[in-house]
Amino acid sequence: MPIYEYVCEACGQEFERIARFSEADQSPICPACGSKETHKQISRVATGSTGSSGDSSSTSCSGGGHFS
């Protein structure tokens, strides 16, 4: 099952949650403050690669006409 990353809008807590596809649309309850004002983070980064500016994989799925 995929792991989704969520962020709490109430307290800013970031947490991960393993969810099925049908559950991914639902907002989980924040484990820190119990708020349901959470949303899924779209930009998934590999664990341990925070701060790196290598975005080589972001241009690989849309035609790729940047190479002359």
User: Which residues make up the interface to Zn ion (CB under 5 A)?
Assistant: 8, 10-11, 13, 30, 32-33, 35
* Cα separations in angstroms, 52 against 7, 45, 47, 48: 21, 10, 11, 9
Q: Which two tokens stand for residue 4?
A: 């989704």
**Closest separation in Å from C-beta 47 to Zn ion:** 22
Tokens of 39: 């949303």
Smaller CB separation from Zn ion, 23 or 37? 37
In 3D space, the residue among 49, 17, 51 whose CA is nearest the CA of residue 8 turns out to be 17
Could you tell me the smallest distance in angstroms from the CB atom of residue 7 to Zn ion? Answer: 9
Q: Which is nearer to Zn ion, 2 or 31 (CB)?
A: 31
**Nearest residue (CB) to Zn ion, 8 versus 28:** 8
